[in-house]
Amino acid sequence: MSARYSGLIERYRDRLPVTPSTRIVSLCEGNTPLIKLENIARKRGRGCEIYVKFEGLNPTGSFKDRGMTMAVTQAVSEGAQAIICASTGNTSASAAAYAARAGIRCFVLIPEGKIALGKLAQAMIQGSVVIQIKGNFDDGMRIVKEMADVAPVTIVNSINPYRLQGQKTAAFEIVDALGRAPDYHCIPVGNAGNISAYWTGFSEYAGVKPATAACAWCDDQCKFERPAVTDSRPVMLGYQAAGSAPFIAGHPIELPETVATAIRIGNPQSWDLAWAAARESGGEFKSMTDEEILKIQRELAEQEGIFCEPASAIALGGALRDIESGRIKEGSVVTCTLTGHGLKDPDTAIKQSAGGVIEIPAESDAVKRAILDHL
């Protein structure tokens, strides 16, 4: 085997639904860093080790690539000529990239107006057919499900079970990097596929089959019955934006609103899987206001140099709040998924850094004064 990293399917091949002859569609996704927080942890960590899994460093800038390499590999192996998805942005960016790589068509349905600029740019330049609907993500999801029956297109939203199979590898990487499972895992929740995928991955590595498993296939040996890699599983803590929190309301939300557009979803498709993960792990769901989300996004950038998108920041915001309240025990090992890169949504970052640019004449005295004022 060559030492060159060539993507998560190769790395975790024996735990994924591929055969030796499968043509793998990959952009070397996965293998993202697990970064230990220093400054924020020292101030607010109460003895906890806090790590962020920076999924913004995937090829298209979000964790969606983990699921997309698997979903597009499978679609191509079944002879698909086209894929389709509804998207708040990152799924379309990822689907477009993997379709380009595979040489197949990609259709993306995006909600009018509410898509971050970077994500739209990706879908457009990567050659997908971008269809903007006068509706939100949930409308797009409903329509996409109808299209699978009337047109030769494979759905690559997270209702496609291969997506979750690819995404579960992030949990493997965390355990591999720490040499153990974390005590708590904190994660944003939109359509609720990712929390379900992580729970599947953590469970598989612990050699435990979850009550409701996100299984894509079963061959002669159930993957959950392999020897355990680790002897424990984390408590799963999921966070939704306050204006878009169906799991807190207990029912779907008609008109979800939040600055964290990646989780602006009122009717999560993996509802049951996500609740099973929370229940089985002793975890729960909580919400956070847009104001809190933006505050933690800025703190993470200012104090650790890590720039994630607003939807991602909610995981760390939730973790810190739960550490402060004692929900997360002192001295725990806590991991947070930073789902997407901050550059995806430059508008929001610039807006909330208003006044951050000093305007002066092009003269050395003026620059000197500006430096001395800010030392």
Distance CA 179, CA 169 (A): 15
Residue from the set 213, 262, 293, 349 that interacts with ligand PLP by CB under 6 A: 262
Considering the rule CB under 6 A, would residue 164 count as an interface residue with ligand PLP? no
- The nearest distance, CB 286 to ligand PLP, in angstroms, is 14
Q: What x-and-dash track marks residues 314-343 binding ligand PLP by CB under 6 A?
A: -------------------------xx---
Nearer CB in complex with ligand PLP: 118/193: 193
Number of residues that bind ligand PLP (CB under 6 A): 18
Q: Which of 63, 320, 313 is nearest to 170 (CA)?
A: 63
Among all chains, which residue has been given the structure tokens 């990712």? 194
Would you say 36 and 49 are in contact if contact means Cβ atoms under 8 Å apart? yes
Considering the rule CB under 6 A, would residue 158 count as an interface residue with ligand PLP? yes
- The nearest distance, CB 57 to ligand PLP, in angstroms, is 13
Q: What x-and-dash track marks residues 37-76 binding ligand PLP by CB under 6 A?
A: -------------------------x-x------------
Q: Strand 49-54 and strand 34-36: pairing?
A: antiparallel
Question: Distance of CA 114 to CAs 47, 92, 295, Å?
Answer: 39, 14, 21
Question: Distance of CA 214 to CAs 53, 209, 277, 361, Å?
Answer: 21, 10, 10, 60
Nearer CB in complex with ligand PLP: 77/352: 352
Nearer CB in complex with ligand PLP: 154/312: 312
Would you say 138 and 157 are in contact if contact means Cβ atoms under 8 Å apart? no
Q: Is 124 helix (H, G, I), strand (E, B) or coil?
A: helix
Residue from the set 311, 313, 319, 320 that interacts with ligand PLP by CB under 6 A: 311
Distance CA 308, CA 297 (A): 7
Considering the rule CB under 6 A, would residue 281 count as an interface residue with ligand PLP? no
Q: Which of 266, 235, 310, 333 is nearest to 86 (CA)?
A: 266
Taking the CA atoms of the chain, what radius of gyration do you get in angstroms? 21
**One-character DSSP codes across 28-52:** ------EEEP-HHHHHH-TT-EEEE
- The nearest distance, CB 260 to ligand PLP, in angstroms, is 8
- The nearest distance, CB 152 to ligand PLP, in angstroms, is 26
Nearer CB in complex with ligand PLP: 189/206: 189
- The nearest distance, CB 255 to ligand PLP, in angstroms, is 18
Contact region with ligand PLP (CB under 6 A), list: 75-83, 223-231, 289-297, 304-312: 304-312
Considering the rule CB under 6 A, would residue 309 count as an interface residue with ligand PLP? yes
Considering the rule CB under 6 A, would residue 233 count as an interface residue with ligand PLP? no
Considering the rule CB under 6 A, would residue 122 count as an interface residue with ligand PLP? no
Cα 307–chain centre separation: 14
Distance CA 138, CA 315 (A): 23
Residue from the set 30, 59, 182, 193 that interacts with ligand PLP by CB under 6 A: 193
What is the contact surface with ligand PLP in residues (CB under 6 A)?
A: 62, 64, 90, 158, 188-194, 262-263, 309, 311-312, 339-340
